[in-house]
Amino acid sequence: MEKDGKTAHVRDKFLQGYRSNKTPAVIIMRNGFQIRGAIINDFDDRVVAAEIDGAEQMINDAAISTIAPLHRQSVRPSQHWTNADWKSPARDFIRDT
């Protein structure tokens, strides 16, 4: 996907959800270290700026393995994603009973 203002990368939409909702996150680094309770304040294609224990820190994007919500919840911002973005082939096999 092109990053031209009309379309954005999935990563950007995902991080935008964390930023706009102020969702506490777990950032797992490539070396296995976990940063728990981080609030993502900003990001670009090289770094993620997050508030960690009350201090603003900048994390190199290449060092990050995974970002997940600290508590189970959706970080999907409704203005950015539609239900069509979340379709799964597995859903076709699930029936309401």
Sketch the domain layout of the chain as residue ranges: 10-93
Which pLDDT score, from 0 to 100, does residue 59 have? 96
Ordered mean pLDDT values, 10 residues apiece, the chain (97 residues)? 58 91 94 95 94 95 93 60 50 43
Output the CA–CA distances (angstroms, integers) from residue 48 to 2, 28, 30, 90, in the order listed: 20, 13, 14, 32
d(CA 33, CA 26): 10
DSSP characters for 13-49? Answer: HHHHHHHHHT-EEEEEETTS-EEEEEEEEEE-SSEEE
Q: Report pTM.
A: 0.66
What CATH fold (topology level) applies to the domain 10-93? SH3 type barrels. (2.30.30)
Which pLDDT score, from 0 to 100, does residue 76 have? 57
